[in-house]
Structure 1
């Protein structure tokens, strides 16, 4: 299920799309050590994760702490009631600046969010995928493309509720 950010074919959503994520989780991360290098060398690490709703469900905020990797990250998700799309903003303690948002929503248990960013100064298309597996498990992944055709998944997070 690859969406092309230039087409903005990402689905719309509802206020309840991220209700499943509220609470405390243990996250197993797999992150490519080097992107766009045809590498299969992954960095694997655990992290603690907490998410809670804000603004009567129109927003939520989370924090992920990965002490073994020396960083924390925070996500702000905002629901645009007019477009019915979520905008997802990420900030890491390593950079301290907001990354450009991805936007989209869910179809059933699958969420697709698309946007643009840069990777080492090179423009990339970005896709986030969310999958609600069951009440106590979820998966998130991120893929980048330089041309909008060939995509590389570079980060996968498996969530287990605590």
Structure 2
């Protein structure tokens, strides 16, 4: 069952290795890879957090605001980028007994309606993985189009 502290693992500073499809809707498109740094901090006594990701090689920053709804026991994840300056539609969901967080929402990409899925997995004190996938056929098939592997920063980083 999800709690207000599900994202406590993410608090602090991280290095991120990104793998992102050049076309988010084409499973055969190439992958581009790039680094980023990330920092996350807690709000609302753990029931919210915010993070900022810096991607200097591509000239943009991103942020996520995560909010826990204690009544529904679900999280909403709200993403924005310095490229647009707007919030994308949220994805909502929770962590399961297997320790994986699954979050879904609706958006558009290149003029097409897409179902969006985020999955958090591989969570430890020093690592985590985030994956994004899009479906254009009502969740019949998914194209994983962005993967971020997190490694906790050390004082020597």
TM-score with structure 2 setting the length: 0.93
Q: How many residues align?
A: 151
For 1:37-58, what per-residue CA distance to the aligned partner results, in whole angstroms no more than 9, with x for missing partners? 3324111000000000001111
- 1:20 corresponds to: 9
- The correspondence of residues 97-136 of structure 1 with structure 2, limited to 5 A, is 97-108=86-97, 109-136=99-126
2:73 is equivalent to residue 84 of structure 1: yes
**Mapped partners of 2:123, 2:32: distance in 1:** 23
**Mapped partners of 2:18, 2:26: distance in 1:** 20
Q: Secondary structure at the match of 1:159?
A: strand
2:136 is equivalent to residue 151 of structure 1: no
For 1:94-113, what per-residue CA distance to the aligned partner results, in whole angstroms no more than 9, with x for missing partners? 11110000001111421000
**Mapped partners of 1:13, 1:115: distance in 2:** 18
Aligned CA RMSD, in angstroms, stands at: 1.0
**Mapped partners of 1:139, 1:113: distance in 2:** 14
TM-score with structure 1 setting the length: 0.90
